[in-house]
Amino acid sequence: MTADRQPHPLAAGLLPANWDEGTPDPGRLAPEHAAHVGELQRAGADLAAFFARAANGLAAAADLPELDERHTTLLGRERGHVTLALGDLPHVPLEERKRLGRAYNLAKRWLGELEAAQRRALEQEREARGAGMLDVTLPGRRPWVGHRHVLAQIREELLDLFHGLGYSVYTSPEVEHEAYNFGKLNFPPDHPARDAHDTYFVSDTRLLRTHTSPGWVRAMEERRPPLRLVFPGRVYRAEQVDASHMDQFHQVDGLFVARDVSMADLKGTLNTFARSILGAGVRTRMIPIYFPFVEPGAQLDASCVNCAGEGRTRGPDGERRCAVCKGSGWLELLGAGMVHPNVFRAVGYDPEEVTGFAFGMGLERIAMVRHGIPEIRLFLENDMRFLSQF
């Protein structure tokens, strides 16, 4: 022992007066606490009193900084009371050294355990306080849910409309026999659509269907008239892709076969369709056009939704040509016509017995006209900024 060094026996008086204010309860931190005090009592009343106050002080620490400070006071590596007392032991006579050494080390361990338990308690309290700051009046975070693609919406709307007119849905394969896509639909052998430049062939006789009309042939081969069917699906064409062409897109065909179906029935059906999709004020016209599977064939146009059929629009910088209909006042909606007698013959129907009409439309085209979408590629790009608008 150096001359200026006083021995450091552990006694309650070493700790500050306000050290265990409050209602500390070390038993809350260590169930064996009372037994520990009792055990140290046997090594000395002073030591037991010191341990009891030290433990109270740890249990009374109000927050983590205070707990750190108290831990340093008791067990700090330089000047902690227990540390200093242990450091004095080599100078204590051997018999007493053994007894005190064991007791000090127990006190050190139990104080360490009490400190750790109080630290956990204070941390839990702090977390609970944090949770208490949750503002339950804030609006919740709604989980992200998707919605139907704009094309699916239009398809459902169309199928719903035609359902109301008595049509059922018929689906047929995307990989189709050449005979169903072309031959039985009265395409002449040299028709340009049959060329490998325009159609994706998967073998000599199989191809990706270029329209949904092969479904008529399949339906008519399976069933007897009368028939009232719609044919939704994806179709493929070997197109150079640009703002208004893609090499895959969607169609909905319609077919009505019975006795005495007339062009007037077709016209009425198409007008109902156009008004439902584009609004009651829309005007329509039919102009003749060639498709091998109908005779006569027609194209249905609707008055332009952008300029109300005027062909011109007025804006801040004066009057200009309508950009949507390119000044014509009309938008092309779909192809239609009376089913060609050769198509009936190909499926075993008697063209003297039945007549029918058919129509076919591109879903992308209908959506573009309806919503003023300028660019067909947007439908497949999966850009949420586009899709979330519909």
Q: Does 336 bind ligand PHE (CB under 6 A)?
A: yes
Q: How far is the CB of 360 from ligand PHE (least distance, A)?
A: 3
Residues between 34 and 53 that touch ligand PHE (CB under 6 A) = none
Task: Rule CB under 6 A: choose which of 51, 167, 344, 359 binds ligand PHE.
Answer: 359
Non-local CB neighbours of 180 within 8 Å, separated by 6+ positions: 172, 209, 214, 217, 218
Residue 255, helix vs strand vs coil: strand
1-8 LR contacts (CB < 8 Å, sep 24+): 1/88, 1/91, 7/88, 7/91, 7/92, 8/81, 8/84, 8/85, 8/87, 8/88
Torsion of CA 386, 271, 299, 218, to 10 degrees: 80
Q: Does 176 bind ligand PHE (CB under 6 A)?
A: no
Which listed range, 143-151, 238-246, 317-325, 334-342, lies at the site for ligand PHE (CB under 6 A)? 334-342
Beta strand 248-258 with 312-315: parallel, antiparallel or unpaired? unpaired
Binding mask 241-260 for ligand PHE (x = CB under 6 A): ------------x-------
Q: Does 213 bind ligand PHE (CB under 6 A)?
A: yes
Binding mask 277-316 for ligand PHE (x = CB under 6 A): --------------x--x--x-------------------
Which listed range, 154-162, 310-318, 340-348, 352-360, lies at the site for ligand PHE (CB under 6 A)? 352-360
How many DSSP H helices and E strands does the chain contain?
Answer: 14, 11
User: What tokens does 27 get?
Assistant: 């038993």
**Closest CB to ligand PHE: residue number:** 360
Non-local CB neighbours of 44 within 8 Å, separated by 6+ positions: 100, 103
Judge whether 230 and 167 are in contact, CB under 8 Å: yes
| Residue 14 or 338 having the CB closest to ligand PHE | 338
The residue assigned the tokens 């006569």 is: 296
Task: Rule CB under 6 A: choose which of 118, 337, 340, 346 binds ligand PHE.
Answer: 337
Task: Rule CB under 6 A: choose which of 211, 218, 250, 365 binds ligand PHE.
Answer: 211
Q: What are phi and psi of 272, to 5 degrees?
A: -60, -45
What are the DSSP calls for 43-85, one per residue?
Answer: T-HHHHHHHHHHHHHHHH--SHHHHHHHHHHHH-TTT-HHHHH
Q: Does 358 bind ligand PHE (CB under 6 A)?
A: yes
Q: Binders of ligand PHE: how many residues, by CB under 6 A?
A: 12
Which listed range, 125-133, 274-282, 345-353, 355-363, lies at the site for ligand PHE (CB under 6 A)? 355-363
Q: Which residues bind ligand PHE (CB under 6 A)?
A: 211, 213, 253, 291, 294, 297, 335-337, 358-360
